[in-house]
Amino acid sequence: MADLPASDVPRGRGARQKPAARAAAAESADISTAELRVVAEQDKRIAALAPPGILIAIVAPHDHGFGLARMWEVFAEGTGWVTMSFRTRSDAEVWLREQVKRKTGLDLPDEPGTASG
């Protein structure tokens, strides 16, 4: 799992924050629907303490993991987070870059050793 680079972004009253942008890949997941609901409820409590609009890209190349990711997205509605599930990391990174550009006007640089999306 690797963070995408981020630049300082001015936000209201002169505050400086970094846009939260992360792409992560999980190889497998063994979790029940009930457990996924618990995770989503915990995420809602975390979200109440965080600024709104955090970007979350989930990379799940296999059907089971992708289904779980989409289910979590539904359960986690109301967090104020902007979430999207992808089959490939490159698609997730393109989406994250587009979202950061749309929200902040900033272009995120490529990670060393990766191609631009």
Taking only the tens place, the pLDDT of each residue in 78-104 is 899 999 999 999 999 999 999 999 988
**7 domain-assigned:** no
Q: Residue 7's pLDDT band (boundaries 50, 70, 90)?
A: very low
The residue-averaged pLDDT of 3-26 equals: 42
**116 domain-assigned:** no
What backbone phi and psi angles, to 5 degrees, belong to 96?
-60, -45
**70 domain-assigned:** yes
Residue 1: pLDDT above 50? no
Q: Residue 113's pLDDT band (boundaries 50, 70, 90)?
A: low
**112 domain-assigned:** no
Q: Residue 70's pLDDT band (boundaries 50, 70, 90)?
A: very high
Specify the number of domains making up the chain: 1
The whole domain housing 57 covers: 20-25+33-104
Q: What is the pTM of this model?
A: 0.66
Exposure class string for 63-74: b at 16+ Cβ within 10 A, else e: eebbebbebbbe
d(CA 27, CA 46): 24
Beta strands in 12-117 (DSSP E): 15-17, 21-25, 55-59, 82-86
**93 domain-assigned:** yes
Query: Among residues of the chain, what percentage have pLDDT more than 70?
Result: 69
pLDDT at residue number 29: 66
Choose among 33, 42, 23: nearest CA to 84: 23
